[in-house]
Chains A and B, each alone.
Chain A
Amino acid sequence: GAVVSQHPSRVICKSGTSVKIECRSLDFQATTMFWYRQFPKQSLMLMATSNEGSKATYEQGVEKDKFLINHASLTLSTLTVTSAHPEDSSFYICSAIRDVGGYTFGSGTRLTVV
C-alpha cells in the first residue's frame, strides 16, 4: 500500500516552454503533498507544501509564479514549471503524507531544459 505515482520520469523541454509534473496517490487520499527539488549529490530541498483545495505554501526563495502547484483533488497534485530555463534543470520529487510519520515518495522527474 501507500503508492505515489509521479509522471513523467524524464522530460526534456526547450527553454521558454512550460512543463507539468503529476503526482498521484494511488491507494490513499493525500490531503498534503510536498514538492522537493534535488541537485546532484545533494539533499532534498523542500519547495512547497501542497494542501488539497487551498493554495500551496512556498518555502522562502521559491518563486511561486515560476513553480505553479495545484492540488485540486485528494489524489492529485501537479507542479508546473513555467517558462523553463536551463537553471531549472533538476530532479523533482513529490511526497505525500498518508498518516502520522508516513511519507511516501514518488519516483522523481528528471527535468532537462535545453
Chain B
Amino acid sequence: AQSVTQLDSQVPVFEEAPVELRCNYSSSVSVYLFWYVQYPNQGLQLLLKYLSGSTLVKGINGFEAEFNKSQTSFHLRKPSVHISDTAEYFCAVSDGYIPTFGRGTSLIVHP
C-alpha cells in the first residue's frame, strides 16, 4: 500500500518570496514521485517527477524537488514565486501503475 501526506492545506506567501510545499509518502516498494499543479476547472499538469537517479529534480516554471529516501519526503520548492503560481499543488506516489495523490496544497501568492 502507498500513501501521501501533504501537511499543509494552504500556504500563503508574498510575491518574490521563496516557498516550500511539503510532501511525505509511504510505500512498501520502490516509488516514483510526482508533483502536479492544478488551476481552477482544469486538469493536472506535471511539474516534475522523480523516477531514479539524481535526488534533486528540476521541473517547469522554476520549481524543483528533492527526494529524501531516509525521511520519505519529496518537498517542492521555488526560490521566488509569482502571482501566477497561485494554484493547487498535488504530490503523488506511484508503484509504476496506479498513482496515489495527496489531498493537495493551495498556494496563495499575495502581491
Contact = CB atoms under 8 A, between A and B. Distances in A.
B90 A34 contact: no
B82 interface: no
B101 interface: yes
B96 A101 contact: yes
Contacts of B96: 100-101
| A contact residues, range | 20 to 34
B75 interface: no
Interface of B: 32, 34, 36, 41-46, 49, 51, 90, 94, 96-99, 101-104, 106
24 contacts: A4-B43, A6-B43, A34-B98, A42-B103, A42-B104, A43-B90, A43-B102, A43-B103, A43-B104, A44-B44, A44-B90, A44-B101, A46-B98, A49-B98, A95-B44, A97-B97, A100-B96, A103-B94, A105-B36, A105-B43, A105-B45, A108-B41, A108-B43, A110-B41
